[in-house]
Structures are given as structure tokens and as C-alpha cells.
Structure 1
Amino acid sequence: MKTNKNTYKIKLGIFVTIGIVILFVILFFIGSNQNLFSSKFEINTNFKNVSGLQIGGQVRFSGISVGTIEGISIINDSTVNVMASIDNDVKKFIKKDSKASIASEGVIGDKILTISQGSTKSPEVKDGATIKSFEPVEFDAILNSVKVTAENAEVITHELASLLSSVNNGEGTIGKLMNDEGMAEDLDKTMTNLRKSSKGLEENMEAAKHNFLLRGYFKNKEKEKEKLAKEKEKEAKEQAEKNKK
């Protein structure tokens, strides 16, 4: 009887010991994942909207998990404070001009806090300091923007289709111009007359140049052009000589 009791106690002791070991292993992995066993420092940042960020969420720097969200509190009606606990090993890499932003793990993943790299000349952030932030872009706002763009595109497409239909049916000024052969012929005649008038004007100007009353005027104009051309040529040569020197 005593032997059975001793065997039972031994088995119970072994079971309890294994349970304790498993518990410690689980705590170790959880602590390692949450960085509970390394020295920490705290930083704060403020947002107008934390977009679903939760306490216990990850903090990432350069794509690496460096801490966790320890607190989220409402300061006033337009400001929400986020307090993050970060590994002390990365403190020297986070600068005063680093900025915090809220991102998602994947398209619809959990919200995380990301910290950007600051400038190399800026001093490192101090424990408990507050850094600036970028406001997150709301997914609903993106969907609304896409919806408005799609609606506008639909309206434009409808208007273009109506316009092309009117043109094909000979409606409106453009439709009449494209489908009315008489109007097209009149337009062609008008262009022909304009070309003839332009040619006649050139002939009249050429005749005026040979008129003894206007000949002096045109000669003076030609002399002025030649003089201006010579001055420009002279300036170009002087500039070329200066560049050589």
C-alpha cells in the first residue's frame, strides 16, 4: 500500500515539475517576444487619431521590432498620447528629430507604431521625451477618394459618349461642321480667299519697295537691320574673346 502511495507521489512530483518547466519556457518565450527581460526606455508621441492602435502592439524601427505600446491616453478632444517602451540598445539610433507613424502589418493586419530614422547630426532621444508624429491615412478616406474618382470618371465617360453621339448625328456646331458638306466647302473657300489675300498683300509690299516715294523708307529699314546684325556679331566676338581669356 505504501509502495503505491510513494509511486503516486513520485508521479505527481514529476508531473508538477514538468508543468513548472513548461510554464517557465512559455514565460521565457513570451518575455523574449515582448522584450521583457531587457532594459527599457520610454518615449511619447501624440496623434489626433490612433486608428485602432492598441496597448501591447509592436513598435518598429527600421523594420525591426524594438518595443511595445505600453499606454494610450486621451489628452484632450484633439490629442491622443501614445507611450512606448523601447529596448535601451536602440536608444542611440533614435534621434530627437525622429518621427512616429502608425502602420499596418499587411493590408488588414494589426496596427503598429513605426519610428523613422532621424538625421545623423541630431542628438539621441532622451528617456521620456516626446517625438513628433505623422498622422495616419485612414483606409475609409482612401476608399472615399477612390469612390469619388470613379464617379467622376463615370460622369466624364458619359459626357464624352453624349458628345460623340451628337457629333455623329450632326448636332451642334462641331457636328454640323463635320457632317454638312456645304459648310465644309464654304470653310475651304474662305481659307482659299485668305491665302489669295495674303499673297496679294505680299505682292503689294514688294511693289511698294520699288516705289520711288517709299524706296528711301525701306532702304533705311534695311540699313537699320544690317547695323543691328553687325552690332550683335561684334558683341558675340567680344564675348568669345572674353571667354578665351
Structure 2
Amino acid sequence: MNTTNNAYKIKLGIFVSIGILILFVIIFFIGSNQNLFSSKFKINTHFRNVSGLQIGSQVRFSGISVGTVESIVIINDSTVSVVAVMNKEVKQFIKKDSKASIASEGVIGNKILMISQGSSNSPQVTDGAFIKSFEPVEFEDILSSIKVSAENAEVITDELAIMLIGINEGEGTLGKLLNDEGVAKDLEKTMENLRQGSKGLEENMEAAKNNFLLRGYFKKKEREKEKAREQAEKEAAEKEAEKK
């Protein structure tokens, strides 16, 4: 009988010991996640809308988890105070001009508090310091903006379609111009006149070159062009020689 009782007590003791060990492991992991066993400091910031941020949400700096959100308190109808607790090891990297923002883990993941890098010449924050913030962009606002853009594009497409149909049917000034054969012929005549005028201008310039009074002017221009060409070739040759 005593042997049975002793075996039972031993098994009970082992079971209780294992339970206590598991409890300590759980407390350790929870404490590590909540920064309970490390030296820490706090910063404070304000938002108009925390966009689903919760107490216990992660705080990240340069993509690394450095703390958690300790408290979220509504100050008034347009201001919400957020206090974050972070590891003291990162305090030297967070500057007074660093800013806080709210982001998501992935597209629709949990909300996290992001701390941006400040300027290198700015002093580091003190414990309990206040830093400025960026207001979060709501996913619903993005969807609303996309919806408005899509509706505007649909309206513009419909109006363009109506306008093109009217042009094809000869409606309006532009439609009449594009569908009027007389206008097309007039445009052809105008283009032909321009070509003739251009040809006449070339002939006049050629005649001017052969004119006794203007021959010296055109020869001077040709010498200047030749001199410029020779100078360009000389510079190119010097650059090629320098490369070799």
C-alpha cells in the first residue's frame, strides 16, 4: 500500500514540476515579447486616427521589431495619444526629428507602429519624449479614390465615343471639315502651293549665290563652315590621341 502511495506521489510531483516548467517558459516568451525583461524607454506621439492599432502591437524601426505599444488614449475628438515602449539599445538611433506612422503587416495584416530614421545631426530622444507623426492612409480611402477615377474614366470614354460617332456622321464643325470633299481639295491645293513656294525659294537662293553682288557673302559663309568642320575634326583627332 505504501509503495503504491509513494509511486503516486512521485508521478504527481513529476507532473506538477513539468507544469511549473511549462508555465515559466510561457511567462518567459510573453515577457520577452512585451519587453518585460529588458531595459526600456518610452516615446509618445499623437494621431487623428490610429486606424486599428492596438495595445501590444509591434513597434518597428528600420524593419526590426524594437518594442510594443503600451497605451492608446483618446485625448479629445481629434487627437489620440499613443505611448510605445522600446528596447533601450535602439534609443541612440532614434532622433528627435524621427516620425511615427501606422502601417500594416502585408496588405491586410495587423497594424504596427513604424518609427522613421531621423537626421544624423539631430540629438537622440529622451525617455518619454514626444515625436511627430504621419497620419495613416486608410484602405477605404484608396478604394474610394480608385472608384472615383474609374467612374471619371467611364464618363470620358462615353463622351469620346459619342464625339467620334458624331464626327463620322459629319456632325459639328470638325465632322463637316473631315467629311467635306471641297475642304479636302482646298487642303491639297494649299499643300501644293506651299511646295511650289518652297521650290521657288530654293531657286531664288541658288540665283542669289550666283549674283555678283552676293557671291562674296555666300563664299564667306562656305569658308566659315569649312573652318568649323576642320576644327571639329582636329578636336576629335586630339581626343582620340589622348585615349591612346
State the partner residue of 1:90: 90
Per-residue CA deviations over 1:144-182 (Å, capped at 9, x if unaligned) read 111111111111111111111111122211111111212
Alignment of 1:45-194 (within 5 A): 45-189=45-189, 191=190
1:184 positional shift: 2.2
Q: Deviations over 1:102-150 (max 9, x none)?
A: 0000000000000001111111100011000011111111111111111
Partners in 1 of 2:3 and 2:60 — Cα distance?
58
TM-score normalised by the chain length of structure 1: 0.77
Identity %, equivalent residues: 72
Aligned to 1:11: 11
CA distance in 1, matches of 2:192, 2:6: 125
Residue number in structure 2 paired with 1:207 = none
TM-score relative to the length of structure 2: 0.77
The whole-number CA distance in structure 2 between the counterparts of 1:186 and 1:82 is 75
SS class of match (1:149): helix
Counterpart Cα distance in 2 of 1:90 and 1:185: 79
**Given residue 124 of structure 1, which amino acid in structure 2 is its aligned partner?**
Q
Cα distance in 1 for partners of 2:50, 2:117 equals 21
Q: Check 1:26–1:193 CA distance in 2 against 1; reply closer, same or farther (3 A cut).
A: closer
Q: Is the partner of 1:95 in helix, strand or coil?
A: coil
3-state SS in 1 of match to 2:131: strand
CA distance in 1, matches of 2:163, 2:59: 55
1:187 positional shift: 4.5
For structure 1, the residue ranges without an aligned partner over 5 or more in a row are 203-245
Judged with a 3 Å threshold, the aligned counterparts in structure 2 of structure 1 residues 124 and 192 are, in CA distance, closer, same or farther, namely closer
SS at match of 1:32: helix
CA distance in 2, matches of 1:33, 1:77: 32
Q: Give, in whole Å, the separation in 2 of the partners of 1:52 and 1:192.
A: 68
Which residue is 2:27 aligned to? 27
Q: CA deviation at 1:195?
A: 5.5
**Alpha-carbon distance in 2 for matches of 1:169, 1:140:** 44
Cα distance in structure 2, aligned partners of 1:195 and 1:122? 68
Measured in 1, the distance between the counterparts of 2:44 and 2:9 equals: 53
Deviation at 1:193, TM superposition (A): 10
Q: Give SS of 2:156's match.
A: helix
Within 2, Cα distance between the matches of 1:183 and 1:118? Answer: 67
Letter in 1 for 2:108: I
Stretch deviating more after TM superposition (115-124 or 26-35): 26-35
Q: CA RMSD in A?
A: 2.7
Distance 1:17 1:195, change over 3 A: closer
2:112 alignment partner AA: I
State how far apart, in whole Å, the 1-side matches of 2:186 and 2:89 are.
85
- Cα deviation digits, residues 85-118 of structure 1 (max 9, x gap): 1111111111111100000000000000000011
The Cα of 1:2 is off from its aligned counterpart by: 1.5
| Matched letter for residue 32 of structure 1 | S
Query: Residues 192 and 92 from structure 1, CA distance in 2 versus in 1: closer, same or farther, beyond 3 angstroms?
Result: closer
The residue type paired with residue 81 of structure 2 is N
